[in-house]
Structure 1
Amino acid sequence: MNNIDASLRTHYRQADRVMLFILWGLFVMALALSGLHDTLMWALAVGLPAAAIPTVLILQNGGARSTRVIVAVALMVFAALHIHQAAGMSELHFGIFVLLAFLLCYRDWSVIATAAVVIALHHFSFDYLQAKGYGVMCLTRPGIGIILIHAGYVIAETAVLCYLAILLQRDAMQAAELETTVTRLTSEAGTIDLRNDGHASTSKSGMELQRAIR
């Protein structure tokens, strides 16, 4: 693993730790919501695994892409759980947009896109199941029109968040490349080593710096 990959991995681990607090906070919220419509069993059966599984992955394989994808799925599971516990109350749907924004912490567009797909599948499937009387809740009253409106807002937010994640990731890689190059140049006290170490930068600033010192 080179210095750039190590720097990114460190960031992902830090983001994972932030998500730990969010996940268990969402579980506590599920317990609090259980009193509304007697959904304690739902909170335990769905909420506890949704918090525990990502926690194990974060502790054992923090910083891995697979871990942050599971975290993204877990956040949307909690959003769906809270909506069900509140009998489809509109205010609980706001949690989806909040949690999607939280995922920007990872600076990984694919994680945000994964979460959006998961919650979209939830809305379309649970709206159908609710309409058929299967005992799950998505809206206060099922209707594909409302689902499509919600989907439109989710798509819009997801597009913007993915774009921002790409920009943030690009900036992070550029900063890591510049740090790596400068560290190599000044590795020996009192001297500047201009020899090519064979590392090829991919960011614009990194390539410009390498050209300047050759």
Structure 2
Amino acid sequence: MNYPWIDKANKIFSVVLIGQFLITLVVAFFTQTWLEGFLIGLFILGLPLFLINTAPFAKVTRHAVAIAVQLFAALHIQQTMGLTELHFEIFVMLAFLSCYRDWQVILTSVLFVAVHHVVFYIVQMQSAGLYIFEDGHLHFYVLVIHALFAVTEGAVLMYVAKHSHRESVIGHNLSSSVNEILSKDGSFNLSAFSDEQHDENDFNKLMASFTRFIKQTKQVSINVLERSEMVSTLSDEVENAIDENVSQINLIATATEQMTVANGNVANQAGEANESASDAFTRTDKTKQIIDNSTSNIENLKGDLSATSQTIGELASKCNQIEEVMNAIKSISDQTNLLALNAAIESARAGEHGRGFAVVADEVRQLAMKTRQNAEQISEITAALTNEASSSVEQMDKCLVRAEDTVVQAKEASEMMMGVVENIESMVNNMASVAAAASEQATVSVSISESTQTLSQNSENLKVNSNESSLRFQEMKNDIENLNSELARFEL
């Protein structure tokens, strides 16, 4: 893993190794160990510097550096023939190696120091020209003391390095994650922290949870936006419906007011109609009484006409009798005239003696002729009277028929008038009920009108509240859109 502190440690140890090489040359100046100091020092310096430049993050590079710094410490001890003070360089280098924050590097360095001390102690004990301690300090307990200090420091440094490495890795991951999140201007890249990709550490777990939260938040925001759009649409529809309701309520209010006026008029007219119906009932009842009286009078007239018809019939019969008498008179007159003529003839035969009788006979004949003439006149008058009587009888019969028809019609009219009276009486009762109902309806209409006015006012208030709600929904929608714009900056 290319951790940044490894690169920094490589740079530090590049300087440290060069510094140790220079110290080697300085020590060589005082100890006259130029050859071993320069050659061995150059060899020790070359390999780690090469690895630092070619494979800076390789594990072998770190271990090579750990061995190289301890080799320089061993070279310095060798140049000074085991000078005790230079053993401090071993501990200093162990401390420097903690810059790598790798406990294995420190372990490598401690193992190398242990091997170096043991081997050089054994070799120095055999006086082979290699030095680990100064003369007079070459004792086993001194070796043990050095070993205990080295192991103790190494153990502490390894513990610190291990925890430092873990904390540094966490810090590095945090820094890398933040850099990755902020890698794009204007957006936050969270795609590396999905449930499938995150490592098992607290920060990545946190970021994964945060990613899930952002996903859920974006989905909730989208859902809320969709719901807000639906609510906005419904709010518009409700507002339109409220407008329509207000319009309809206003129409209802107007119609109710008109109906109230109409009901009042109906109540008044129903009252007037009731009075008119009552008056019509009275008049119709009087008319029925008049018709009943007329029927009675017509029946009486019928009786009178019937009696008159009988009288005229009797008169015609009398006229016929007179005609018979007159016929008898004319017959007698004719016979008298004939007798007078015979008397005149006889008087003429008598001569002078029959002249007076002739005069009487002539007078009788003239009287008979006048009687016949008068009888004929009376016959004519009697015939005319008989004809007129017959005509009167016929007229009387017709009058009787008409009187009977009139009586029947009058009875029918009376019965119909009775029905009219009953209907008018029922109508009077109904009109009274209608008048009462119309009056009650007028009162109810006034109440409905007042309720409609209240409903209209409530509808206006509801419209205002609906407009306010619509405005607030629009503001919420704008806020949600802004939230979506901000959430869109998080790339999941």
Unaligned runs of 5+ in 2: 213-492
Q: Which amino acid aligns with 1:203?
A: N
Instruction: Quote the residue 2:435 is aligned against.
Output: none
Give the drift of 1:96. Answer: 0.4
Instruction: Quote the residue 1:144 is aligned against.
Output: 140
Distance 1:133 1:144 in 2: 15
| Runs (4+) off by over 6 Å | none
Q: Which of 161, 165, 185 is equivalent to 2:161?
A: 165
Instruction: Quote the residue 1:84 is aligned against.
Output: 78
Instruction: Quote the residue 2:207 is aligned against.
Output: 209
Instruction: Quote the residue 1:102 is aligned against.
Output: 96
* Mapping of residues 29-178 of structure 1, within 5 Å: 29-141=23-135, 142-178=138-174
Q: Contact conserved, 2:5 with 2:99, CA < 8 A, in 1?
A: no
> Percent sequence identity over matched residues?
32
Number of corresponding residues? 208
Distance 1:154 1:69 in 2: 17
After TM superposition, the structure 1 stretch with the greater mean CA deviation from structure 2, 27-36 or 119-128, is 27-36
Q: Which amino acid aligns with 2:51?
A: L
Give the drift of 1:44. Answer: 1.8
Distance 2:119 2:129 in 1: 13
Q: Which TM-score applies when normalising by structure 1?
A: 0.89
Give the drift of 1:15. Answer: 1.4
* Mapping of residues 191-206 of structure 1, within 5 Å: 191-195=187-191, 196-197=193-194, 198-206=196-204
Task: Deviation per CA, 1:6-49: give whole Å up to 9, x if none.
Answer: 4x1x3322211211111011011111111343221220232111
Task: Deviation per CA, 1:140-164: give whole Å up to 9, x if none.
Answer: 1322211110000001111111111
Q: Contact conserved, 1:174 with 1:206, CA < 8 A, in 2?
A: no
Q: Which amino acid aligns with 1:90?
A: T
Q: Contact conserved, 1:112 with 1:158, CA < 8 A, in 2?
A: yes
Give the drift of 1:212. Answer: 3.5
Instruction: Quote the residue 2:9 is aligned against.
Output: 15
Task: Deviation per CA, 1:157-187: give whole Å up to 9, x if none.
Answer: 1111111111221112112222333344444
Unaligned runs of 5+ in 1: none
SS in 1 for 2:48: helix
Distance 1:56 1:126 in 2: 28
Q: 1:31 to 1:193 in 2, by over 3 A?
A: closer
After TM superposition, the structure 1 stretch with the greater mean CA deviation from structure 2, 112-121 or 134-143, is 134-143
Q: 1:206 to 1:45 in 2, by over 3 A?
A: same
Q: Which amino acid aligns with 1:64?
A: A
Distance 1:31 1:58 in 2: 22
Q: Which amino acid aligns with 2:92?
A: V
Instruction: Quote the residue 2:358 is aligned against.
Output: none
After TM superposition, the structure 1 stretch with the greater mean CA deviation from structure 2, 106-115 or 141-150, is 141-150
Distance 1:28 1:193 in 2: 49
Q: Which TM-score applies when normalising by structure 2?
A: 0.40
SS in 1 for 2:57: coil
Q: 1:44 to 1:205 in 2, by over 3 A?
A: same
Give the drift of 1:209. Answer: 3.1
SS in 2 for 1:24: helix
